[in-house]
């Protein structure tokens, strides 16, 4: 069974640009979570999507947004990039019957210059 | 924001020794999970312990949970060089997202 996949692996952008990150969950998982892991700040919860709806978001500005598609894949969009957005962005998926075990993808490394 | 702290921040041991990492958290939880991360890549789920459980084993891993002290520990027995990684505890409360600790960097020397 394929795990969670994310694309692209690496991305370099400049300040003010916009970026879209993509995530495909494990087959059968309906929930997708996005986390940011920035140097020195640890893993921070960004967004949670379930059944196509945004269920919760972390303490991030509105320029961080996303969506979940009918096939449960998800996009994370970041507008007006700032230098401090440089981080590893991790996507995870889960199936509610497994408690809250989340399965993570390999991440997208975003560098903002 | 981080739910809690992990202790120690870094741990270096010899192959074959046991490694113990501790995690403290602040709010009530439904379960606590431990993850491993190699070289800044994706996290791998290791073990989940529910709030009504006190101890759980999986292979060389032993996790304890003390909800009265809001703390957990992860013991890796007979460590191997391949266990070198960062280890994170994560708590799940009423909300579904996980809140992660600050992590312990474990180095196992051959």
% residues pLDDT > 90 (chain B):
73
pLDDT at A1: 66
Per-residue pLDDT tens over the stretch A83-109: 999 999 999 999 876 667 899 999 999
The answer to whether B60 and B77 have CB atoms below 8 angstroms apart is: yes
A contacts of B105 (beta carbons < 8 Å): none
Res B31 pLDDT > 70? yes
User: A102–B31: do the CB atoms touch at under 8 Å?
Assistant: no
A contacts of B92 (beta carbons < 8 Å): 99-100
Confidence of residue B107 (pLDDT cuts 50, 70, 90): very high
The answer to whether A30 and A51 have CB atoms below 8 angstroms apart is: yes
B contacts of A31 (beta carbons < 8 Å): 96
- The mean predicted confidence, pLDDT, of chain B is 91
- The mean predicted confidence, pLDDT, of chain A is 93
Parallel, antiparallel, or unpaired: how do β-strands B104-109 and B10-14 relate? Answer: parallel
Per-residue pLDDT tens over the stretch A73-84: 999 999 999 999
Using an 8 Å CB-CB cutoff, list residues of chain A that contact chain B: 4, 31, 33, 35, 37, 42-45, 48, 50, 55-56, 58-59, 88, 90, 92, 94, 99-107, 109
Which residue, chain included where needed, has tokens 């920035």? A38
Q: How close does chain A come to B106, measured CA to CA in Å?
A: 16
Question: Cα Rg for chain B, rounded, in angstroms?
Answer: 13
User: A104–B2: do the CB atoms touch at under 8 Å?
Assistant: no
């Amino acid at each position: 069974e394929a795990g969670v996949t994310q694309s692209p692996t690496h991305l370099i952008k400049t300040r003010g640009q916009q970026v879209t990150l993509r995530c495909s969950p494990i087959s059968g998982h309906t929930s997708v979570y996005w986390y940011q892991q920035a140097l020195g700040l640890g893993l921070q919860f960004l967004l949670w999507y379930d059944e196509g709806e945004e269920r919760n978001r972390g303490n991030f500005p509105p320029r961080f947004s996303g969506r979940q598609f009918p096939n449960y894949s998800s996009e994370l969009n970041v507008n007006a990039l700032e230098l401090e957005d440089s981080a590893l962005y991790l996507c995870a998926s889960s199936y509610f019957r497994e408690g809250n075990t989340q399965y993570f993808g390999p991440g997208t490394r975003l560098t903002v210059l | 924001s981080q739910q809690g702290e992990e202790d120690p921040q870094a741990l270096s041991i010899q192959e074959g020794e046991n490694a113990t990492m501790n995690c403290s958290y602040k709010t009530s939880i439904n379960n606590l999970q431990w993850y491993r991360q190699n070289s800044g890549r994706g996290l791998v789920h290791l073990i989940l312990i529910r709030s009504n459980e006190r101890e759980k084993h999986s292979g060389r891993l032993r996790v304890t949970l003390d909800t009265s002290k809001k703390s957990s520990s992860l013991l890796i027995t007979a460590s191997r060089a391949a266990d070198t990684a960062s280890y994170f505890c994560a708590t799940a409360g009423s909300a579904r997202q996980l809140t992660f600790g600050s992590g312990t960097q474990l180095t196992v020397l051959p």
